Amino acid sequence: MLKLPKAIQSANRSLIRLGSLSALAIVSTGALAQGNSESLEEVVVTGIRASLEQNIDMKRNANSVVDAITAEDIGKFPDKNVAEALQRVPGVSIDRDFGEGENVSIRGTDSSLNMTLLNGQTVATSQWKVLSALSRGFNYAMLPSDLIASAEVYKTPQADIDEGSVGGTVILRTRKPLDLDSGTASVSLESQYSELPDVWDPSGSAFASWKNEAGTFGVLGSVVFQDRSVERHGAEVLSNYVPTTAKDTGEEVYVPWGLGSALFQQQRERRGVDLNLQYAPNEQFDATLHYLASELGASNMNQNFLPLSRNAVRDGGSNTQTNGNVVTSSDIDGALAGGHVAYDVIYRDGSSMDTDVLDLEANYDLGFARLHGQIGRTTSEGNANDWFYEWFNQANDDRVNWTYTNNGRPSASFDNSDWITNPTDELVLNGYFESQITMTDEEAYAQIDAEFDVEVGPINLIQVGYKTRDRDTGQDRVRTYASNLGANGNDAYFGTAADFWSGAVVSGLHGETGFGPSAYFDPDRNKLNAYFDALPDCAAGSTEICSNRDTTWYPSIFDINEKVDALYVKADFADDTTGLRGNLGVRYVTTDTTSGAWSFSSAQGEYAYDEVKAKYSDVLPSLNLAWDASNDVVLRFAAAKVIARPSPSQLTSSVSLTPESSSGSGGNPELEPYRATQYDLGAEWYFAEGAMAAVTLFTKQIDDYVFDEIRSEQVISPDGVLQIDSMRRPQNGPSVDLNGVETQLQYSFDNGFGLVGNYTYTDVSDAETQSGPVTLPGNSENMFNVSGFYENELFSARLAYNYRSEFFRAKTAVGSLYRDEQTSLDAQFSYYVNDKLSLRAEALNLTNETVNDIFSLDGGPTLQASEWENGRRFFLGANYKF
């Protein structure tokens, strides 16, 4: 029987003898347990065609429903990180909110309901974005593709793979030095042009592997650096559509709470290192020490000019026109209205996130059994920093007039408003704070597995194991803010726009989004720093404007501990007579959580720390059955029970309030996990070498579905008991059904051309709750990918198109928010100068697609919401193999 380590070694050596640094697709444990005692032959394979054949071989031989991408594929797809490569897999979709793939969704489930494992283990993750909640979904922006040898997407579970996914599990593999020839090395250099910021940025990677002459000890190392200038232009709808009363008509109407003409700029600095030490003194024993570290510097700045349409129509609207009860236009008279125009500028120096993994793995072959042990830890820290400044218009100022329109797209027109780019005192600075948020994620794990060769009917392998995990996630926050503004005879603002301006202007926005204004004044940060740094510290009895520096911000602080213990048993079977093979197993898992957070106690007059404990257990059976009906046809059936635990941000008992809009959000530490029963039925036809046609039907009944319930709630705060009309909290709800079909086609012609395509359809039912019907976020009904390629001995070219239909994002008090359909067209060209040197050119988002949100009003029309432009990206690079 072929064993996993030997399969990996043979696969890698086959490619390395060709001078390629790409690894073959790793054959799954289930695929190996077929009673096949033949050794892998060393076959000469190169190029796109060979890589696709390797992916097909893995899918064909696996017992579970699995799709794979090898490092050769990741290098040759027009994709710059692993997520962007994975979107070519049937049933997999991603988001590119900042022009780069970050989160992966599988089979219509949100990214937080899927797992990513590195060499079979969790990778800790965090965020750099202030408004991002801690999630279980892995942020692929942290993981350059250069560090990964292969990626496997398990659509159906196995008992020996960690539980925690409803959609699917992505297993990433790194290389091992004893699988490669000693002295294997390569260097890649690349330059990236980003269209919106109009700059070139460098990136590069280096790889080297060595082993001693005896082949018993080896060292492998990779380093990666990638710089990227990010710019995003946004036409934003803030807080979506809300009801209000029009001043001039007295009618109840719907209008966005606020609009935003946004400019986001960021300098991303990604650094990564991967180190493997492997020791195998004999054929019975081997051990690998693996260290991976990746960090992303994400300092950024966000500017947003904000016409507050709700306040404006309510307080100063005239000639208000509606279509139904939706405002289509209104003239805003600044002389009648109070605060109806704002301008936010946020500097986020030092924002970052990092992750690291330290893992020790050992295997020992006893002859009659094989033992496997793995122990390690993974940590991540995200830092989201804010220096926030907000200007508002002076009340009853007829210089600040504008017009709100919504003819299919909400917009604001500021005719004859030269003050926007040449301000005096129309806007005053009366909002300020500094904030530092630290998000942490840490998991320690240990597992032991044993597999035994048996001959019990068709069963040829029994595998048992135990794993324990201890995970801590949390968030800390400190704030600096001013006191006594507008009190004790002080001014009601820090200064006017002119006081904090030196003449700079932001311009050139909304070339694609059709929004306004497209230019506005750019504050002078040095003047802002000088003013607020000079404020005195607040002290007891202070009456002047002063600063409360580095104050612990209790409402945002929480800690969650999660202890998981799992036992499993799995049997692999194969019957040469009938052609049936597969695995049957069960996993028993217990989960203990402790959620701690701060809440304000009116009795004590201060914040008090509370903990809530919860515990649950699950029995998770799984069956994967494959039938080799003929030499070129494989039929499949799979059934399993799965779970996905709530996100850390859903489990916290802390709350966040926005009293101005009477809204807020909080967690629920007593949530149960998502639980699902799922079935797969598939057929695969391998009608030619390197060719395949496949179809898979799948269904999932998801119980204990977690949805956000919006309700009125009284919340105790330092300002007293607040009535929050729209308080959002997660709750376990009723069942939803998710059904779908995946289709795949792959074919390589004899003339060098080839085609790879897939289409996925998913349908999810609504669940009825007290808050109305709700559905799964992240589910696109239609997804398809098509890639065409050509290659010969001199060059290769590939064009890849991806489509994803609209999907539900969130429920609000008066409607539902959706992400509109998304498309992308990417391309790559490679020229092989010789066996060692290759040149390449790539392009992402060739058609300059924008990212759009749409809003469906309950009982009303569907309206345009936000739209963001990320621009095109182009790459030129070279790779040299030693």
Q: Could you give the 3-state DSSP secondary structure of residue 98?
A: coil
Q: List the beta strands (DSSP E) in 127-216.
A: 150-154, 169-173, 185-194, 199-211
**Assign residue 40 a region: left if phi > 0, alpha if psi is -120 to 50, beta otherwise?**
beta
More confident position, 692 or 101: 692
pLDDT in tens, 86-114: 888 999 988 878 878 778 889 988 888 89
Distance between CA atoms of 179 and 780, rounded to whole angstroms? 40
CATH number at residue 713: 2.40.170.20
523 inside domain: no
What tokens were used for 138?
Answer: 């892995």
pLDDT in tens, 343-367: 999 999 999 999 999 999 999 999 9
In the block, tokens 């429903």 appear at 65
Distance between CA atoms of 402 and 404, rounded to whole angstroms? 7
- Classify residue 473 as exposed, middle or buried by CB count within 10 Å of its CB (0-12, 13-18, 19+): buried
pLDDT at 4 over 60: no
Q: Which of these, 626, 627, 642, 623, lies nearest to 585 by C-alpha position?
A: 623
The type of residue at 574 is A
pLDDT at 80 over 70: no
The pLDDT value recorded for residue 97 is 80
DSSP state at residue 336: T
Gyration radius of the chain over CA positions: 29
What tokens were used for 4?
Answer: 């996993």
More confident position, 46 or 315: 315
pLDDT at 599 over 80: yes
Count: domains in the chain: 1
Q: How many CB atoms lie within 10 A of CB 799?
A: 17
The type of residue at 698 is F
In the block, tokens 């122990």 appear at 375
The arithmetic mean of pLDDT across residues 261-288, rounded, is: 95
pLDDT at 72 over 70: no
Give yes or no for a contact between 129 and 475, defined as CB atoms under 8 angstroms apart: no
In the block, tokens 């994620």 appear at 441
More confident position, 437 or 11: 437
Give yes or no for a contact between 365 and 325, defined as CB atoms under 8 angstroms apart: no
The pLDDT value recorded for residue 694 is 97
Select the highest-mean-pLDDT range: 102-106, 494-498, 713-717. Answer: 494-498
148 inside domain: yes
Q: Which of these, 110, 133, 111, lies nearest to 777 by C-alpha position?
A: 110
Q: Residue-wise over 347-379: b if at least 16 C-beta within 10 A, else e?
A: bbeebbbbbbbebebbbeeeeeebebbbbbbbb
What tokens were used for 296?
Answer: 């992303």
Distance between CA atoms of 800 and 827, rounded to whole angstroms? 6
pLDDT at 19 over 50: no
Q: Which residues pair with 482 in a beta bridge?
A: 547
**How far apart, in Å, do the first and last CA atoms of the chain sit?**
35
What tokens were used for 386?
Answer: 């804010």
The type of residue at 678 is Q
Q: List the beta strands (DSSP E) in 631-689.
A: 633-644, 655-658, 663-666, 674-688
Q: List the beta strands (DSSP E) in 401-529.
A: 402-406, 410-413, 427-456, 459-483, 495-496, 501-506, 520-523
What tokens were used for 271?
Answer: 């650094």
pLDDT at 860 over 50: yes
623 inside domain: yes
Query: What are the φ/ψ torsions at residue 593 (nearest 5 degrees)?
Result: -120, 145
Q: Which of these, 500, 533, 131, lies nearest to 343 by C-alpha position?
A: 500
Distance between CA atoms of 411 and 404, rounded to whole angstroms? 6
503 inside domain: no
Give yes or no for a contact between 145 and 74, defined as CB atoms under 8 angstroms apart: yes
Q: From the centroid of its chain, how far is CA 341?
A: 33
The pLDDT value recorded for residue 46 is 57
Alpha-carbon distances of 676 from 106, 113, 641, rounded to whole Å: 15, 11, 6
835 inside domain: yes
Q: Which residues pair with 236 in a beta bridge?
A: 260
pLDDT in tens, 359-392: 999 999 999 899 999 999 999 999 999 999 999 9
Distance between CA atoms of 395 and 332, rounded to whole angstroms? 13
508 inside domain: no
406 inside domain: yes
pLDDT at 27 over 80: no
The arithmetic mean of pLDDT across residues 315-327, rounded, is: 92
**Assign residue 120 a region: left if phi > 0, alpha if psi is -120 to 50, beta otherwise?**
left
The pLDDT value recorded for residue 631 is 93
Contacts of 707 (CB under 8 A, 6+ apart): 730, 731, 733, 767, 769, 771, 774, 811
More confident position, 437 or 97: 437
Alpha-carbon distances of 36 from 9, 32, 697, 807, rounded to whole Å: 17, 8, 29, 44
What tokens were used for 126?
Answer: 């965090």
The type of residue at 780 is S
Question: Can you give the pTM of this predicted structure?
Answer: 0.88
pLDDT band at 2 (very low <50, low <70, confident <90, very high): very low
83 inside domain: yes
Q: Could you give the 3-state DSSP secondary structure of residue 23?
A: coil
Question: Which residues form the domain of 225?
Answer: 4-483+551-881
pLDDT band at 79 (very low <50, low <70, confident <90, very high): low
Q: How many CB atoms lie within 10 A of CB 793?
A: 9
pLDDT at 806 over 50: yes
Give yes or no for a contact between 393 and 400, defined as CB atoms under 8 angstroms apart: yes
| DSSP code string of 536-558 | PBP-TT--S-EEEEEEE-GGG-E
pLDDT in tens, 607-665: 889 999 999 999 999 999 999 999 999 999 999 999 999 988 889 888 877 776 777 88
pLDDT band at 408 (very low <50, low <70, confident <90, very high): confident
